[in-house]
Amino acid sequence: MKIKVKKLHKDAKLPTHGHPGDAGMDFYSVEDVIFPPGKQVHVHTGVALEILEGYVGLVWDKSSVAFNMGLKVMGGVIDSSYRGEIVMNLLNVSKKEVIIEKGHKVAQMLIQKFEHCEIEEAKDLSETVRGHGREGSTGHK
């Protein structure tokens, strides 16, 4: 599968795979970004994508950025119909200011096939062994 990528900024880098066979494409910051402790900041990548219909881009943490810098991706679903800039929303969960320099990897995206579902209201749902159990309920008696 090929993904078309359009540079929207002269300094933008195309996404890359770190190693052959890696699932995630790495995205890069197009500018220096300062993250105050406990704050969310948008990180511009300077690129737009054309994802094929029937697929979705899911944005995930880069383990090195999350572990070493304390920056966590705050969700990210990129629909195939979206043609705007890919902007990553990251939260600084550390107690110190963090600086991402222009050209640094900030997040990764996985392209995954999905099934579009039809929503149907129901009065009842089928029974399962789990039932209403949640939040660690399988470990309690």
- The count of other CB atoms within 10 Å of the CB of residue 65 is 22
C-alpha distances in Å from residue 90, one per residue of 1, 24, 25, 26, 51: 28, 17, 17, 15, 22
DSSP state of 66: H
Class level of CATH domain 4-115: mainly beta
Query: What is the per-residue pLDDT for 93?
Result: 97
Query: What is the per-residue pLDDT for 136?
Result: 64
- The count of other CB atoms within 10 Å of the CB of residue 13 is 20
**0.75 surpassed by pTM:** yes
The tens place of each residue's pLDDT in the chain, 141 residues long, gives 999 999 999 999 999 999 999 999 999 999 999 999 999 999 999 999 999 999 999 999 998 998 899 999 998 999 999 999 999 999 999 999 999 999 999 999 999 999 989 999 999 999 988 887 676 666 665
C-alpha distances in Å from residue 132, one per residue of 120, 121, 126: 20, 18, 12
Q: Is the dihedral of CA 97, 99, 105, 109 positive or negative?
A: positive
Query: What is the per-residue pLDDT for 120?
Result: 96
So where are the chain's domains? 4-115
Chain centroid to CA 70: how far? Answer: 16
